[in-house]
Chain A
Amino acid sequence: MAPPADTRLRLETVRLTALYGRRAVVKDVTILFPAHTVTAVIGPSGCGKSTFLRCLNRMHELSEGGWVTGRVLLDGADVYDDAIDPVQLRRRIGMVFQRPTPFPTMSIYDNVAAGLRVNGHRGRRALDEVVERALTQAALWDEVKDRLRASALALSGGQQQRLCIARALAPQPEVLLLDEPTASLDPAGTQRIEELCHELKRLYTIVIVTHNMQQAARVSDYTAFFYLGDLVEVGRTDELFTRPTEERTEAYITGRFG
């Protein structure tokens, strides 16, 4: 059966194992993230879903004792290849964390421009354009356009998180990794971020880690269920939530553990 047009290969892992020292926290995971889709990674706390996400942009190896085996392919090329500079790679794969992490010494504008400046983009007008575009994509432009020079800390928690999304989007990454992006937000802020996921997948491939199954059901096309470091099941979100094939998946989504 020919794959649908929107499942062009973008990011995949092949037998990916992530370790801290000799302890494997993600085991032998093979999974495909098709282009222009949202994939939710769910599972109980400590199941390795955040670590898995951090392997995709090579952040895991920065943790004390962190290393991986297996492969992560971005458009077919292994990101763990010796020829790949992890710093360059992270400019192609944007990431947003659980808690908002605006740079406290920078203005709203400088936060968004930070990823471009570090890449050597200096042109004033070009930067202005990118900052406006990124803030618009993150649905924050209307709220901050009159105070771009204000400190990023003047924003509310939800606004700060959208600022972080804008900051991740500004360098025009190919993939966007969201690590429980709404964990510290109120319902209104959560809804804004979820709406964003829907809009942004037209432009990016999105992987979102969440402990909230309703959220996974709302925002994602595909869902992957992790348990104790194993990828138990992955499939179309509507199918995984209505007809899980694995008993452990069913037990988790019906709230019997986790």
Chain B
Amino acid sequence: MSARSLRRHVTSGLMTGLVAALSFTVVLALVLILGDLIAKGASSLSWDFFTQNPVPAGQTGGGVANAIVGTGIVVGLAALIGLPIGIGTGLYLAEYGSGRLGWIVRFVADVLNGTPSIVIGIFAWTWLVRPMGRFSALAGAVALAALMVPMIARTSEEMVRLVPQSLREAALALGYPRWRTSLRIVARTALAGIVTGCLVGIARIAGETAPLLFTALGNLNFSTSVLLPMQTLSLQIFTYATGPFEEWHRLAWAAAIVLMGLVLLLGVAARWAIRQGHGAAR
């Protein structure tokens, strides 16, 4: 074996080892986080934790039912607002966005994507909370939707771009108008990818706290009115974790497990949606 060949082997081995070590670091971080969460919070998970509302400070027991329902409402409402706008924008960018307007929209989306979530929250406070005169779940949902739109728009655009041009031409040659080609053929073909992007986007905002601090605010009671302040898991964790009571810290860990589980579930669903798409494309 020549010296050069040997050097290549050694370099190759070193680099392989390096990337393996880096990958291991990522996995290790996730394992440590999950392990810590379960170690500190699992014991607090009980039927009551899921079904009871918080009890006044100082008392033991109680749960986070209001925060679980609140997360569902705020995130659901945000998705209801954000997904149609995001998907529509993505479809526009991919199908019609080759001109100047497309360039501007893409640029704005990229800037918004990089905007710190707390800044988005401040805007939601300025435009919704102040004029309405109170904190509300609606304002929180709008803030989360604003976070979501650029993310969904860009991933949807990427997915729609993956649809081969030949498929568009086939539809157009068949006498499909342009808009119907985009909706019936192109968007349908890219659907699995778009759904995956949406699920990842929802997972991303489900854990957001900063934009909710001065919009949804949080609520110690059970509330389903979108015009009133509402508790979410992320706000609950923030309140409990920064509070002075041992009991609160315990509940914060448990709430973190629930939130983490929710995000993992969405991630698994996203994986599943990708697989469905590939199944159909075979």
* A97 to B188 Cα, complex, angstroms: 21
Contact with A along B219-238 (1 / 0, CB 8 A): 00000000000000000000
Among B240-282, those with CB < 8 Å from A are 280-282
Check B119 for interface membership: any CB of A closer than 8 A.
Answer: no
CB distance from A52 to the nearest CB of B (A): 15
Contact with A along B166-185 (1 / 0, CB 8 A): 11011111111100100011
Q: Are B280 and A151 in contact (CB under 8 A)?
A: yes
CB distance from A180 to the nearest CB of B (A): 12
Contact with B along A150-194 (1 / 0, CB 8 A): 010100000000001001100100000000000000000000000
Q: Are B167 and A90 in contact (CB under 8 A)?
A: no
CB distance from A34 to the nearest CB of B (A): 23
* A233 to B49 Cα, complex, angstroms: 85
* A104 to B191 Cα, complex, angstroms: 11
Question: Which of B164, B173, B191 makes the CB contact (< 8 A) with A90?
Answer: B173
* A59 to B173 Cα, complex, angstroms: 7
Contact with B along A97-111 (1 / 0, CB 8 A): 101010111000000
Enumerate chain B residues within 8 angstroms of A49, measured Cβ to Cβ.
Answer: none
CB distance from A105 to the nearest CB of B (A): 4
CB distance from B195 to the nearest CB of A (A): 13
How many interface residues does chain A have, given as a range? 20 to 34
CB distance from A181 to the nearest CB of B (A): 13
Closest to A89 in B: B175
Among A114-122, A139-147, A242-250, which stretch is in contact with chain B? A114-122
Enumerate chain B residues within 8 angstroms of A88, measured Cβ to Cβ.
Answer: 175
Enumerate chain A residues within 8 angstroms of B174, measured Cβ to Cβ.
Answer: 90-91, 94-95, 114-115, 118, 167-168, 171
Q: Are B170 and A104 in contact (CB under 8 A)?
A: no
Enumerate chain B residues within 8 angstroms of A62, measured Cβ to Cβ.
Answer: 169, 172
Contact sample, A vs B, 30 pairs, CB 8 Å cutoff: A57-B173, A59-B173, A62-B169, A62-B172, A87-B176, A87-B177, A88-B175, A90-B174, A91-B174, A91-B175, A94-B173, A97-B170, A97-B173, A101-B164, A101-B166, A103-B170, A103-B171, A103-B185, A104-B189, A105-B188, A105-B280, A114-B176, A115-B174, A118-B174, A118-B177, A118-B184, A151-B280, A153-B282, A164-B170, A168-B174
List the 4 closest pairs (A to B, CB-CB), nearest first. Answer: A91-B175, A101-B170, A95-B173, A105-B188
